[in-house]
A and B are shown apart, each in its own frame.
Chain A
């Protein structure tokens, strides 16, 4: 029964990911991505990773989907995905080879699971991996600053207006100086 649940969730995630990828318009793709995120978070929950499942669901299915839909509303009609340059059979062969290699390398790890006892995420995150928390804080700060820098247009507009004003005010002075020179 547990195997069937994992199989259904894995197939649902792969199917939604495929639909998100081949969809011609981006709004359905964003919604399919949210479904992928939901399937992955249920799988994570069943694996016992409760905290990461909650983070994945709230960030992956919530925040990222909202950001994608907002971006599509800003960008407008240019959301059509053009045809690929690489022939699809070639891409399929490359990806198939990569997938087989990845599965072949990872399979021995999962066939011999080790039981080390329960270690709480809080202990790992705040004691063993405290540097990761600082990296996350720095990343979030950098992301906020990056988005503010990319999307802020007010300062550019103000500078353009200042330049126009300076040009208007300096023009009469230049004309006056020319007239004075003539006199």
Chain B
């Protein structure tokens, strides 16, 4: 069985995706959620470039990856600012304690 470099990059992308999803499921700290989202987006960026390389259109993959990086950075910065305000007003960063709704 001949393993190409693209197969190994795909393996790395899936591993990053798995770690990111696992983190989303078990994390309760608001700042750590932003951090885990960053891991997921890095997997998405690698997948976009990998898809561009596989389809022979690396320029398109890079262009889409750049857009994703910009969007993700803006989301991270706004989410961190939001976390600062949440900590200031609610006194905690635990997402399970932030809900004011009672069922």
A51 touches B62 (CB 8 A): yes
Secondary structure call for the A interface: helix
Q: Is A164 an interface residue (CB 8 A)?
A: no
Q: Is B101 an interface residue (CB 8 A)?
A: no
Interface residue count on the B side (C-beta < 8 Å)? 76
B10 touches A106 (CB 8 A): yes
User: Which residues of A sit under 8 angstroms from B15, Cβ to Cβ?
Assistant: 10-11, 13-14, 17, 99
A85 touches B29 (CB 8 A): no
Query: Complex: how many Å from CA A61 to CA B77?
Result: 14
Q: Count how many pairs of residues, one from A and one from B, have CB atoms less than 8 Å apart in the complex.
A: 265
Contact of B70 among A37, A116, A128, A140 (CB under 8 A): A140
Interface residues of A in 48-65 (CB under 8 A from B): 48-49, 51-52, 55-56, 59-60, 63-64
**Least distance between B41 CB and chain A CB atoms (Å):** 9
13 A/B residue pairs, CB under 8 Å, sorted by A: A6-B5, A14-B19, A21-B26, A33-B35, A40-B16, A46-B5, A82-B29, A82-B96, A95-B18, A96-B18, A143-B74, A143-B78, A151-B84
> Which B residues fall within an 8 A CB radius of A?
3-23, 25-29, 31-32, 34-36, 38-39, 42, 45-47, 49-67, 69-71, 73-78, 80-85, 87, 92-94, 96
> Which A residues fall within an 8 A CB radius of B?
2-3, 6-7, 9-11, 13-14, 17-18, 20-21, 26, 29-30, 33, 36-37, 40, 43-44, 46-49, 51-52, 55-56, 59-60, 63-64, 67-68, 71-72, 74-75, 78-86, 88, 91-92, 94-96, 98-99, 102-103, 106-107, 109-117, 119-121, 123-125, 128-129, 132, 135-136, 139-140, 142-143, 146-147, 150-151
